[in-house]
């Protein structure tokens, strides 16, 4: 499908240029195995991206939010205009080295680790940076931030404050369609958090003296059921409480004395997580329990601040762009706290994120480049 009639001349021309390079660039980036925490893979991925940056960019490496992780990349382009725009992406994947494979095509689908989450988006972000670098009169500063630890970050995100006050943040997580086939971008996300419950009981021989033990496994299982009963996705906070991991025991004939339970929490408000954490008792059947929140990410609701921009972008595109909601966490949520005009979901469309069937739709590379360029133009000329 082509989009020429009704599309702004700059948007159409620049999107065609981005799409002309996108598959080769995605192939090069997917060829690098860069799972979270692997410094060598991250460095190689950053080197590949460095070759795709516009010549006008000055590059700095800045410490990651994750200790001992590879440094993140910030590229800056100075212009003669007034607005400051941040482009955002991440280079780490959840697929490890042993399960990595190169990009392959099957019809309109390009398969590979991180294609949709989010190396395809990174390729588009780099293309948008190159296109905008040719129009420096539109901005005072164009910044591109690529982080290496988005998928498994446990520590606070360190980059937020230095970009506070920017006019807009555009994040290139996967794109999608609206309910009637419109171009969709993400303007609302739930808050997300990981609740970890550790158990300390008492071991005993499970055959000769089972009742002398304090069974950590049973305590965690009962706690999982109790917390799961708080799951209210249709409630006021749209709270989801999902037990995802339980570990306990080392031998088949010993009452397990230790263990842990992990739950994934999502809600419209961070405050909705506290009643779940508070529902974990201090002791249960002689087992001591301790609950703590980890990897807590804020929610995002930029609908009021993005409505006018999306309307202007639709005029530049000649087709409607609408804001949609998504449940998954994103670094865009952090920036939305200090940059109200934050738009996410500007990457290509695809599916299968975090699985061996991850893919992007090749046709969407051009279409979503048009969307990203239209929104960037609407921000910078509005």
Distance, in Å, from the CA atom of 135 to the CA atom of 129, rounded to the nearest integer, reads 10
Q: Where are the alpha helices (DSSP H) in the chain?
A: 9-30, 39-52, 120-133, 216-228, 274-278, 303-317, 331-336, 362-381
* CA-to-CA separations, 284 to 142, 164, 217, 227, 245, in angstroms, rounded: 55, 45, 11, 14, 19
Distance, in Å, from the CA atom of 245 to the CA atom of 85, rounded to the nearest integer, reads 39
Which strands sit side by side in the sheet containing 139-147, from one edge to the other? Answer: 58-62, 72-78, 139-147, 83-90, 168-171, 342-343
The residue behind tokens 């930029």 is 302
Q: Which CATH superfamily is domain 9-190+299-381 in?
A: Zn peptidases (3.40.630.10)
What's the pLDDT score for residue 328?
A: 80
Which among 51, 45, 301, 330 has a CA at the least distance from the CA of 175?
Answer: 330
The residue behind tokens 């290139």 is 172
What's the pLDDT score for residue 5?
A: 59
What's the pLDDT score for residue 70?
A: 97
Query: What are the φ/ψ torsions at residue 344 (nearest 5 degrees)?
Result: -120, 175
Structure tokens at 64: 């990651």
Per-residue pLDDT tens digits of the chain, which is 382 residues long: 344 558 999 999 999 999 999 999 999 999 999 999 999 999 999 999 999 999 999 999 999 999 999 999 999 999 999 999 999 999 999 999 999 999 999 999 999 999 999 999 999 999 999 999 999 999 999 999 999 999 989 899 999 999 999 999 999 999 999 999 999 999 999 999 999 999 999 999 999 999 999 999 999 999 999 999 999 999 999 999 999 999 999 999 999 999 999 999 999 999 999 999 999 999 999 999 999 999 999 999 999 999 999 999 999 999 999 999 998 889 999 999 999 999 999 999 999 999 999 999 999 999 999 999 999 999 999 8
Query: Would you list the domain boundaries of the chain?
Result: 9-190+299-381, 191-297
From the number of C-beta atoms within 10 Å of its C-beta (0-12, 13-18, 19+), residue 305 rates as middle
At what angle are helices 120-133 and 362-381 packed, to 10 degrees?
A: 40
Query: What are the φ/ψ torsions at residue 347 (nearest 5 degrees)?
Result: -80, 180
Helix (H) / strand (E) containing 251: none
Give me the CATH topology for the region 191-297.
Answer: Alpha-Beta Plaits (3.30.70)
Residues 6+ apart with CB under 8 A from 49: 29, 73, 91, 122, 126, 146
Distance, in Å, from the CA atom of 331 to the CA atom of 245, rounded to the nearest integer, reads 24
Which among 145, 142, 165 has a CA at the least distance from the CA of 78?
Answer: 142
Query: What are the φ/ψ torsions at residue 87 (nearest 5 degrees)?
Result: -105, 135
Give the pairing type, strands 321-326 and 183-189: parallel
The residue behind tokens 């943040």 is 169
* CA-to-CA separations, 69 to 54, 60, 153, 189, 298, in angstroms, rounded: 26, 16, 10, 26, 23
């Amino acid at each position: 499908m082509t989009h020429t009639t009704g599309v702004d001349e700059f948007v159409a021309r620049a999107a065609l240029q981005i799409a002309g390079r996108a598959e080769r660039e995605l192939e090069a980036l997917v060829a690098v195995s860069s799972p979270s925490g692997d410094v060598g893979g991250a460095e190689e991925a950053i080197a590949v991206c460095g070759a795709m940056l516009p010549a006008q960019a000055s590059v700095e490496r800045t410490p990651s939010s994750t200790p001992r992780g590879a440094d993140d990349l910030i590229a800056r382009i100075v212009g003669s205009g007034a607005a400051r725009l941040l482009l955002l992406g991440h280079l780490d994947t959840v697929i490890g080295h042993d399960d990595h494979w190169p990009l392959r095509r099957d019809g309109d689908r390009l398969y590979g680790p991180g294609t949709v989450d989010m190396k395809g988006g990174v390729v588009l972000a780099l293309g948008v940076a190159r296109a905008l670098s040719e129009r420096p009169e539109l901005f005072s500063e164009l910044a591109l931030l690529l982080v290496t630890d988005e998928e498994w970050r446990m520590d606070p995100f360190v980059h937020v404050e230095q970009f506070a006050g920017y006019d807009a943040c555009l994040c290139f997580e996967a794109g999608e369609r609206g309910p009637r086939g419109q171009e969709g971008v993400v303007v609302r996300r739930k808050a997300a958090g990981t609740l970890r419950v550790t158990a300390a009981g008492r071991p005993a021989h499970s055959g000769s003296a089972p009742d002398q033990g304090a069974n950590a496994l049973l305590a965690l299982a009962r706690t999982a059921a109790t917390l799961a009963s708080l799951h209210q996705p249709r409630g006021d906070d749209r709270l989801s409480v999902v037990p995802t991991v339980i570990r306990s025991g080392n031998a088949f004939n010993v009452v397990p004395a230790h263990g842990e339970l992990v739950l994934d929490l999502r809600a419209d408000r961070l405050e909705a997580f506290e009643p779940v954490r508070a529902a974990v008792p201090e002791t249960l059947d002689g087992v001591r329990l301790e609950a703590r929140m980890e990897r807590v990410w804020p929610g995002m609701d930029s609908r009021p601040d993005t409505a006018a921009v999306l309307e202007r972008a639709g005029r530049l595109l000649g087709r409607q762009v609408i804001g949609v909601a998504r449940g998954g966490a994103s670094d865009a949520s952090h920036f939305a706290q200090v940059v109200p005009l934050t738009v996410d979901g500007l990457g290509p469309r695809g599916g299968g994120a975090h699985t061996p069937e991850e893919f992007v739709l090749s046709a969407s590379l051009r279409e979503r480049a048009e969307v990203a360029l239209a929104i960037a133009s609407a921000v910078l000329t509005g």
